[in-house]
Amino acid sequence: MSWGSASEFFAMGGYGLYVWGSYGITAALIGYEAWSTLRRRRRALNDALASAAQKAQR
Amino acid sequence: MNGNRLRLFTFAAPSRFYSLSGSLLPWLWAAAALLAAAGLYLGFFVAPTDAQQGESYRIIFIHVPAAWMSMVVYLAMAGWAAIGWIFNARMASMLARALAPSGMVFTLIALATGSFWGKPAWGTWWVWDARLTSELILLFLYVGYIALVEAIDDVKRADHAGALLAIVGAVNVPVIYFSVRWWNTLHQGATITMSAAPKMQSTMLTAMLLLTFAFWAYAFAVVFVRARAIVLEREHEAEWVRGLALAARKLS
C-alpha cells in the first residue's frame, strides 16, 4: 500500500483523470444498465398484472 | 428418446426459467458486489505501483475483464441465437436478446477504459490498430443486432434475422483475440494465456481475476433480469404469468 494521504490516493500519481475517468464511466454504465433493466422487469410485471385484471373483469 | 426430449423442453420452458432465475438472483447480485469490493480493495490498497506505468496501470483491473466479457457474451449470444433458430426454442432466442445489451455495455467499458489507458501510455485516445478496430466492430455488431431485432415486429422473424447476424458476426471474436499476434499492433500482447505463466505480479493478477468473477456474476444477474422482463413481455397472455401477476398484487 503506497498512499500517504487521501489526496495522494485521488491524485493517482498524476494519473487521476485517467484512472478515475475509467472507473467513473464503468460505474455509470453498469449503474444505468442495472437500474434500467430492473425497471423494465418491474414494468413488464405491472403490465401483466393490468392485463390479468382486465381479463378478470370481462 | 421421446421422454428425454420432453423433459429437456420442460426445463427450457419460460415459466421454468422464470422461477429458477428468480431464486438465483439474490445470490448473483450479492456475489457480484462482494467480489467487486474485494477486487477493488486488493487493486487499490494492496497491489503495488507498476514500475513502468505508474498508477495508470490500475485501469487494467476493469479493462481486461470487460474486454473478456465483451467477447464471451457475444459468443453466448450467438450460441443461444443459433440454438433458438435450429431447435425453435423460445427461451434460447429470448436469452440471446437478453445478452445483447450487456455485451454492448461491456464493449463500451472496454473501449472507454482502453482509451483512458492509451492516452497516458501511447499519447493518444485512439489508434486504428487491429485490436482496437476489431473491438469497435464488435460494438457495431451488438448495436446492429439490437437494431435489427427491434426493427422487425414479428418476433419469430426478428429472432431468425438476429441469429443470422449474430452467427456471421462471430467470426470477429477470434479476430479480436488473435489480433495482437496476427498483426503488429500498438496494443500490447496477451498478459494472461492458457499456455504460459502470467506475466504479472500475483496481487495484481488476483485483483483482476476477482473483478473478472464480479463481472461474470453481474452479467448473469442483469441478463437474467432482462430475460425475465422479456419472458413477461412476450408471454403476458399465458396462464402462469397471470397467476404470477395476481400473486404479486396480493403481496403488495
Check B45 against A18: CB less than 8 A apart. Answer: no
Check A37 against B46: CB less than 8 A apart. Answer: no
pLDDT recorded at residue B72? 98
- Among the ranges given (B51-55, B86-90, B125-129), the one the predictor scored with the smallest mean pLDDT: B51-55
Mean pLDDT of B168-178: 94
Check B112 against A2: CB less than 8 A apart. Answer: no
| B107 closest CA partner among B173, B44, B31 | B173
Domain residue limits at B114: 35-46+57-191+199-233
Q: What is the pLDDT of residues B99-120, one digit of tens each?
A: 999 999 999 999 999 999 999 9
pLDDT at B22 over 50: yes
pTM: 0.92
The verdict on residue B6 lying in a domain is no
Provide DSSP, A4-51.
SSHHHHHHGGGTHHHHHHHHHHHHHHHHHHHHHHHHHHHHHHHHHHHH
Q: What is the pLDDT of residues B135-162, one digit of tens each?
A: 999 999 999 999 999 999 999 999 999 9
DSSP run (H or E) holding B117: helix B90-122
Chain mean position to CA B219: 6
**Cα(B90)–Cα(B84) distance, integer angstroms:** 6
Residue B27 CA: distances (Å) to CA of B23, B66, B69: 8, 21, 20
Distance in Å, alpha carbon of B4 to nearest chain A alpha carbon = 32
Residue A6 CA: distances (Å) to CA of A2, B34, B42, B49, B143: 11, 23, 17, 16, 40
Top-confidence residue, B98 or B187: B98
How many domains does one find in chain B? Answer: 1
| B227 closest CA partner among B114, B118, B95, B127 | B95
Listed in sequence order, the residues at least 6 apart from B145 whose beta carbon sits closer than 8 Å to its beta carbon are B77, B100, B162, B165, B166, B169
Taking CB atoms and an 8 Å cut-off, how many pairs form between chains A and B? 109
Distance in Å, alpha carbon of A23 to nearest chain B alpha carbon = 8
| B138 closest CA partner among B77, B92, B52, B193 | B77
The verdict on residue B9 lying in a domain is no
Comparing CB atoms, the residue among B113, B232, B244 nearest residue A22 is B113
The verdict on residue B215 lying in a domain is yes
The verdict on residue B116 lying in a domain is yes
Any CB–CB contact under 8 A between A51 and chain B? yes
pLDDT recorded at residue B8? 54
- Among the ranges given (B43-47, B91-95, B245-249), the one the predictor scored with the smallest mean pLDDT: B245-249
Q: What are the backbone dihedrals phi and psi of residue B152, each rounded to the nearest 5 degrees, phi first? A: -100, 120
Check A23 against B62: CB less than 8 A apart. Answer: yes
Amino acid at site B89 = A
Comparing CB atoms, the residue among B55, B218, B229 nearest residue A15 is B55
The verdict on residue B250 lying in a domain is no
The verdict on residue B221 lying in a domain is yes
The verdict on residue B52 lying in a domain is no
**Cα(B12)–Cα(B22) distance, integer angstroms:** 15
Percent above pLDDT 90 for chain B: 69
The verdict on residue B144 lying in a domain is yes
pLDDT recorded at residue B236? 84
pLDDT band at A48 (very low <50, low <70, confident <90, very high): confident
Give the other-Cβ count within 10 Å of B247's Cβ. 10
pLDDT at B185 over 90: no
To probe the interface with B, which of A10, A17, A19, A20 has the most B CB atoms within 10 Å? Answer: A19
